[in-house]
Structure 1
Amino acid sequence: MPRRIVKALSEHPLSAELYPLGIGYYQHARGHRMHRAQHDDHLLIYCLEGRGQLETDGKSRTVRAGDLVLLPRGRSHRYHTDEAAPWSIYWIHFDGPQADNFIAALDPDPQSPLIPLGLHSRLVADFEALLDARQASHQLDAFVHCANQLRQLLTHIALLRPLARRQADDSLDLERVHSLMQARLHEQLDVETLAAAVSLSKYHFIKKYKALTGTTPISHFIHLKIERACHLLDVTTKGVNEIAWAVGYEDAYYFSRIFKKSMGISPTEYRRLRVGDLGYKG
């Protein structure tokens, strides 16, 4: 984030206690590596796919999908992606007088920076909301909102921490599937890719998914896209063409048809409804 924004956040009454310094998402980050001998902020990494290697305190650890890496200020470290299975990661650098208290609430192991939290689609949605808040505007208010989204993200992790466990190998890992869907809302995603993520054939994946959820994976993926589109219609002034592109549709007309089929009204009518120009009853 621009230094002037960081300074403003550190002085604003609604963000001074905890604020982000930088946020990002790297997908299949082949060649990604970092070494920090001097680390002067706090860093959180959430691995969504693939794996990487982390070295701290003279020990090497493998970071896998579903792992959080928590590196507090002052902890020297180096990490790199696995070249055979490059990781996809969300990352956020943050600071503030209350940062240590938020970190303590995560109940980290003082001997290890790894938190095996597991894959949680709603946590992915939290990271995506952070990215949305940062990108929605260049105004300070947007970054103040971003700082408060960071609070929500960290307290959500604290809520999930006692329940963290990996699903049994013989079950369908819905969290992995839904996390991938959340991360790929801006593009197209086929059933074969989702099935491969949980090591199932396309046929068995669709059968298991429908038995557990009552719907098909692609129907749910479209539902998530429409949810994101509604959010963008609510909080931005982007045109329908831009929003269609943001949720993975190159054809705005086709996107509008899908949106109306799901919501019962067009994207333009939905925005009019949200600003009060159209009643809920039509």
Structure 2
Amino acid sequence: MERTSIKYFVNNSLGLDRNISSVGFEEIPPNTSYPTSNHSVGYYFNPDKGRVLKEYQLIYVTDGEGVLETGSGGVFAIKRGMIFVLFPGEWHTYYPNYQTGWSHYWIGFCGSEVDNWMRNEYCSRKSPVFRVGINDEIVSLFRKAINVANEELSLYQQVLGGLVTYLVALMCSIDKNRRVETDDFSSKIDYACVLMRELIDQSVSMQEIAEKSGMGYSLFRKLFKERMHCAPVQYLQNLRIQKAIELLTTTTIPIKEIAYLLNFESPAYFSARFRKQTGRSPVEYRDEFCSK
């Protein structure tokens, strides 16, 4: 995934019960000032002074660590695998540790319906941090939200509103039912799945993925197959084929370029793997599904 993908909806007066104001992903490398200059007026802030928003935001940290401070809850140490909630009308500040940086997704939203279930059912201003681990489904929801926001197809706000509703319910469920073991192998496998999604367009070995996930390769491969029901290499290849399908049906990028973008050895190898998995060649797939 790109190191920065940010979308703001400036004129967001649709009168919906759930309005999405912003969505994005940003990687902050170690020894980098924060926040970056990529943000819209009204969202850029000084971490020393903090800010107050008119909306809710969910911030999901998938790598690195940092600090959150809010008016109601005080100071929280934020680690990889945590989602924290920012509430409208409440002072807060947050930032990554300078030595580690962090990678984080976020989505901002507001609306009368949102106020009801955020205030009465799900979240507390005094306890705004949710420990969900590195969860592949949650990452997929954030990535889907970014894709929907960038495309801005008909009824995109309603689609994003549905994603937010599910995302909040899912993070609360995971947090309440989580296993507190710090050496939970399942969370390491989830983190490996997220890494593969993030590195889908790069040349990466399974040994590197295992190392980044905190495991030796033999144990990693064994546990991965038990949890995901396929080998790590096959899982990464499936992700690349899924991304290829998306590019074939939503863009006009040449097939040869798609093959190299997704790090296949050659266009011929890409076509062979694509046909084996889908039953069609990339050309046939694009012709069939783009003509509908």
Match of 1:10, SS state, is coil
TM-score by length of structure 1 reads 0.80
RMSD: 3.0
User: 180, 185, 193: which one pairs with 1:178?
Assistant: 193
Distance 1:193 1:2, change over 3 A: closer
User: 125, 128, 141: which one pairs with 1:126?
Assistant: 141
Superposed CA deviations along residues 65-105 of structure 1, whole A, max 9, x for unmatched, are: 22111101112111111233322110122233333235347
Matched, 1:145 2:156: yes
Quote how far apart the aligned CAs of 1:114 are.
Answer: 0.9
Which ranges in structure 1 are unaligned for 5 or more consecutive residues? 278-282
Q: 2:7·2:24 contact (CA, 8 Å) conserved in 1? A: no
Matched to 1:40, the amino acid is K
Matched, 1:11 2:14: yes
* Aligned equivalent of 2:104: 89
TM-score by length of structure 2 reads 0.78
Which ranges in structure 2 are unaligned for 5 or more consecutive residues? 1-5, 36-44
C-alpha distance in 1, partners of 2:191/2:206?
Answer: 14
* Aligned equivalent of 1:280: none
Q: 1:130·1:146 contact (CA, 8 Å) conserved in 2? A: no
C-alpha distance in 2, partners of 1:154/1:37?
Answer: 25
Match of 2:13, SS state, is helix
Residue identity (%): 25
C-alpha distance in 1, partners of 2:70/2:97?
Answer: 17
C-alpha distance in 2, partners of 1:66/1:207?
Answer: 23
C-alpha distance in 1, partners of 2:120/2:198?
Answer: 26
C-alpha distance in 2, partners of 1:48/1:203?
Answer: 25
C-alpha distance in 2, partners of 1:247/1:153?
Answer: 29
- Matched residue pairs, number? 268
* Aligned equivalent of 1:37: 51
User: 63, 70, 77: which one pairs with 1:49?
Assistant: 63
User: 270, 274, 277: which one pairs with 1:262?
Assistant: 277
Matched to 1:153, the amino acid is V
Match of 2:24, SS state, is strand
Quote how far apart the aligned CAs of 1:125 are.
Answer: 0.9
Superposed CA deviations along residues 145-164 of structure 1, whole A, max 9, x for unmatched, are: 25523422332330442243
C-alpha distance in 2, partners of 1:192/1:255?
Answer: 23
Distance 1:81 1:17, change over 3 A: same
Match of 1:11, SS state, is coil
* Aligned equivalent of 2:3: none
How do 1:1-282 residues align onto structure 2 when only pairs under 5 Å count?
6-7=10-11, 9-11=12-14, 16-30=16-30, 31=32, 32-33=34-35, 35=47, 36-57=50-71, 59-104=74-119, 107-136=122-151, 140-141=152-153, 144-145=155-156, 147-164=158-175, 165-166=178-179, 168=181, 169=183, 171-173=185-187, 174-241=189-256, 243-244=258-259, 247-248=262-263, 252-275=267-290
Superposed CA deviations along residues 195-221 of structure 1, whole A, max 9, x for unmatched, are: 123311122212322243342212101
